[in-house]
Amino acid sequence: MMLFTSSISFAEDHSQINTMSVDNIYKNVKAQLEAAPDGFSWDLYRNAISLKPVGWFVHDKVNNINGIISATHAMSPVDFSEKNQFETGFTVGIFTNLKKYAKPEPSKTASIMIGIDLNMHTKEDIKYLSQNQQGNVKAFWLRYRDAPPGKTPIIVHKYYLANDATDNLNYFIFESPEDQWEENWKKYGSVILKNVSFISVYPND
């Protein structure tokens, strides 16, 4: 079993990949997790592990288009919908089977998604951009200011984990109004994003 975060990795046991049920995978993962920080609980969604602030609303969406699965797990302190989106919140996004079905591999897909954000914003709006690699996993970070006309200016922080070997792309997004960013980043964003992980043996289909 392997978890990947920005600072921790565990040895992977490939012999269990084809024999463990999802319930047993989650049981194995939970046994590795330390106690959640005060005000948070551990949140497992498909192959993603993160923290959820206590009391936040959660909505999920899963699409399967020609074998490529895209799943979204979003949470916010206020209830929300696709038509009534949040200003402060955290989103887990998951793509699987990208390479398998003749699409760009996960790391290339992450680069494309980052490129779209860069093209949509000025250099002054880009606050941070970086990437790194650990084994088969490529990590990308992007933070930018987003201020469409007529909307509240927000700061968006995105963290991508792309594993071309397992054909998985996970991305984690924290966003908050610009005038509340420092407070919300300290209270929620930095805590959540320091503890995100993915499960490498979780089945893609």
The pLDDT score that the predictor gives to residue 102 is: 82
CA distance 188 to 199: 23
> Which structure tokens are listed for 174?
């924290």
The pLDDT score that the predictor gives to residue 126 is: 98
Q: Pick left, alpha or beta for residue 189 (phi over 0 → left; psi -120 to 50 → alpha; otherwise beta).
A: alpha
Q: pLDDT in tens for each of the 205 residues of the chain?
A: 445 544 333 334 444 445 678 898 888 888 889 999 999 999 999 999 999 999 999 999 999 999 999 999 999 999 999 899 999 999 999 999 999 998 899 999 999 999 999 999 999 999 999 999 988 899 999 999 999 999 999 999 999 999 999 999 999 999 999 999 999 999 999 999 999 988 888 889 8
CATH of domain 55-193: 3.40.1000
Ranges of each domain in the chain: 55-193
Q: Which residues pair with 163 in a beta bridge?
A: 137, 168
